[in-house]
Amino acid sequence: MLKGKTAIITGSGRGIGRAIALAMAEQGANIVVNDVNMESAGEVVAEIEAMGRQAIAVKADVTSEEQIKEMIETCINRFGKLDILVNNAGIIQTLPVTEIDGKDWDRVMEVNLKGVFLCCKAALAPMKAQHGGKIINIASVAGKRGGGLLGNSCYSASKGGVIAFTKSLARESGPFGINVNAITPAFTDTEMTRSIAPDKKEFIIKMLPLGRVGQPSDIAGAVCFLASSMSDYMTGEIMDVDGGLMCD
């Protein structure tokens, strides 16, 4: 499905990003595994190479425009092109609004929203030059409905920004043959969410028609679809992968 394609997945040393990187490699793509933790990124590269696919690990902070430019250049120097960008890197803040420090708010916005903007900006030049590309942003249902239950208003605001930015960029990029879509997961079982109190997890599960939390592989499958030619006539789409949470 993705044979011969080259993809960058930010924050792919673990969790959802790792699942996306492995799923795309299984579909035939060359992978740039991006993370700030090179040990975990290297482990993912080893898993991909064990499949007989090509991959490299690139350390880059998504809040640094210079590091992102270097990552894009490294990708093109190694694989000759960039077909797919998955903006997955993100952090969460779970505090009531009255307890959020301004610096904490800024950090979440820098990683979750500004990081998406900077990566898209850097990827647009090579994608425009080849008149084609797929950008998939990992947002959250919290960006649609808020996330007050977990005290993650800051996180929700950042993901709401990703949704609006995705729609705007889709309009700008369509004439260049570039598809820009986003996926909005609900609660997904990752290292980032395992610190959430069990009673809150149980409450969330009861809200889901499918009766279970999401797995990283659930998100990875949807990303592979949006990265493939099967989604060529989709852009500006915000796809819920949420166990039915938003079906009401």
Calpha distance 60→72 (Å, rounded):
10
Neighbours of 190 (CB within 10 A): 20
Tokens 């975990």, residue? 40
State the Cα–Cα distance between residues 219 and 17, nearest whole angstrom. 9
As annotated, the active-site residues are 155
Contact call for residues 94 and 196 (beta carbons, < 8 A): yes
d(CA 236, CA 39): 35
How many other β-carbons are positioned within 10 Å of the β-carbon of residue 96? 10
Is residue 151 exposed (0-12), middle (13-18) or buried (19+ Cβ within 10 Å)? middle
